[in-house]
Structure 1
C-alpha cells in the first residue's frame, strides 16, 4: 500500500481512539411516547433506500424505535464518537479500523453484500477492449468501486498505465461525468446504469459481482460500548432493518414508487434497475468469515491493505435476528 493510502486510515484511527477516551456512557434515550431513540448513519443513494422505506412503512416503530437518519460520510468515526448508534459501512473500512483497535463491532451484513457496481461505457467505448487509452471514473479514490474497476481491467488485460483513473464520486456525479464527457467510462450504481441505457448516454460493459463474487461490500456497525450496554436495541434495529429490506423486495412496485420519489428517475428505469439487482439482493444478516478473508486478500493484492486481520474478534453475531424474528415482525402499517 502506498503512503498516500496509509495516512488517511492511520489518521482516522487516531481520531477514533482519541474520541473513545472521552466517550460517555451510551445509554438509550426515549421519546415521550416511550420509543427508543436511535441515530442511524445510512448510506446515501440507492443502498440506503430500503431502510428509509422501512421507516415510512412503520417497521422501526414496530420494534419500539424512533430512528433519525443521517448520512454515513464517516461511519467509523460517527459510531466511535457516539454521535450515531448504528451505521452502514463499507466492509473494508470497518475491518481495517477495527483491526487497528477502533472500538467498533460488525454486527451484521447489509441487505446485500456483493458489490452493486457496474462498469459502463460511453458512446466511444463499444466493449472492454476499447478502454485502453480512455478516462475511467472510479467513484472515490481508495473505495470498493476503485477495487472493482481495477480488478475488471486487470482481468481483461488492461493495466493501470493503459488508462487514466479519475475520482468522480458516486451516483449522480458519476453519471454526470460520463454524460458530459469528463470520462469515457465509469463504475456506477443502479439506477444509473438503466438510466444511461434508456437515454443512450452509455451501456453496460461488466457487472462487478461477476468478477468478484466473494468481495464483501457492506456491513452494519456499532460501537463496542453501545452494543454491550444495549444488546436488545441492536437486535431490534437489525430486525427492523432486515424486515424493511425483505418487504421492499417482496413489494417491488411499492418500493419502486418510493425509490422514484427519492432519486427522480422514470418508473421504467427504476423497474429495470430492480430487476437487474434481484440476484444480489439476498437479505442475509450473517457475515461470511471466508468472504471477509477473500475481500482482504484482494485488497492486499491490489495494494489497498497491508495486513489481513483476524475478524473473529471484530464480528459479533449475537445480535442477529433469527428467521422467526423476521417472520414475526409483522406486515407494514
Structure 2
C-alpha cells in the first residue's frame, strides 16, 4: 500500500473520527464496566440456563461498539421479555471470553464468529446462533512514534504489534495481513494491550510500534495525539471490507456457545436469539438518538447527542435480522485458512459452526 493510499484513507474517515472523538474520550474517562470474576456469578455451567436459572454471557469487550446489541437487549428488557435471566460479564477480549466459556465460567459468548471455526479445528464443537455484525470493525494503526517510518505492512517486519489478546480476532487480523503480503507470521511480534485505556496508552506511549484497534479506542487515540493516526488497513467501511477480505459480508460479533449446551438448552437459546433479533430490528427501525436514550447513562459519557450520532454511524455495520449466510461464513473461513495455521487446510464443516434455527 502506498503512502498516497494511506493519506486518502485517512481523509475518508475524518468525519466519523471527528464525530466520536469527544465521546470516546469521555468513555475512556469513565472506564469499562467492571467484570465479575469468572465463576463467581452464582451459577455454573451445570445449570445451563434452563428452568429459570441464570445465563451468563461473556462479552469480548463490552464498551466496544461492535458488541452494542448484547447490552442494548438487556437495557430494552428483551431478555426478560423472553423469560431468560441474563448476566453480562465484560471480559475485555475475545479469546478471554472464549476461554471462560470453554472452562465453564460462562454459558454463552458475545464474541466473533471466527472462534467457532478455530474451535472445530481443535475438535471442540462450538456454534454461533445469532449474528450481530457484518464487518469486523478493525483497523491497523501506526503508533505516533513510528509515523513516517512504517508506511506499509512490509515495514512491520521486526516490529511489535499490539492486539487485544493473543488468539483474538485482532491477532488473527495481523496474521492475515502478514500472510496476504507474502510475509511470515513470525516477521512481526504481537503483544496484548487489551482494549480501552490500556490500548490507547500503549500506542500513545510507544509501548508498541502499531496496533489493531476498534472504536471507540481509535477516536480516543486520535483525540489524545491531536491528529489522525496513520492507517495501514481499515475494514470499518464497506470499501475497506472488500479491499481486505474481498467480500461484502464478514460475520463478526455474534452469540455462540458449546454445541452441547445448545442441544441441551434449545428453548433458552431460542429466547436469546429472539432477543438479539428484536434488538437488531429495533436498531434498524429507530434513530441513533432513540437508541442512545436506551443505553446505560455512563456509555454516553455525559453527551447523549454525540453518542446518538456515533450509533447512527454504527448501524450500517450491523446485521438487520441476525441470520448468517453461507457466503459470509465462507469469507471468514478463507481468512482463517490464511491467518491461522491451526485451521490451515483442515476440513472444516461450516454447517456445524453456525445455525439460523433459533431465529425461526
TM-score (norm 2): 0.67
| 1:202-241 Cα distance to aligned partner (Å, 9 max, x none) | 4251312341245443332233344334323211111112
Q: Which residue, out of 119, 126, 130, partners 1:97?
A: 119
Q: Which residue of 2 aligns with 1:318?
A: 357
Deviation, 1:80, is 5.2
Give the distance between the partners of 1:135 and 1:201, measured in 2 at CA: 22
Unmatched tracts of structure 1, length 5 or more = 1-22, 31-35, 322-333
Q: Which residue, out of 262, 285, 290, partners 2:299?
A: 262
SS in 2 for 1:89: strand
Deviation, 1:190, is 0.4
Q: Which residue of 2 aligns with 1:114?
A: 135
Q: Which residue of 1 aligns with 2:68?
A: 49
1:211 matches 2:244? yes
Give the distance between the partners of 2:328 and 2:73, measured in 1 at CA: 28
Bigger shift: 115-124 or 173-182? 115-124
Deviation, 1:319, is 0.7
Contact 2:175/2:340 (<8 A) preserved? no
Give the distance between the partners of 1:64 and 1:230, measured in 2 at CA: 13
Q: Which residue of 1 aligns with 2:173?
A: 148
Give the distance between the partners of 1:310 and 1:113, measured in 2 at CA: 21
Give the distance between the partners of 2:301 and 2:142, measured in 1 at CA: 22
Q: Which residue of 2 aligns with 1:237?
A: 272
Deviation, 1:189, is 0.6
Give the distance between the partners of 1:80 and 1:167, measured in 2 at CA: 21
Q: Which residue, out of 202, 216, 226, partners 1:191?
A: 216
Q: Work out the number of aligned pairs and report it.
A: 293
1:251 matches 2:287? yes
Deviation, 1:158, is 7.5
Give the distance between the partners of 2:124 and 2:138, measured in 1 at CA: 28
Cα 1:149–1:225 change in 2 (3 A) is closer
**1:73-92 pair list within 5 angstroms:** 74-76=96-98, 78-79=100-101, 83-92=105-114
Give the distance between the partners of 1:135 and 1:83, measured in 2 at CA: 32
Cα 1:254–1:138 change in 2 (3 A) is same
1:37 matches 2:51? no
Unmatched tracts of structure 2, length 5 or more = 1-44, 236-240
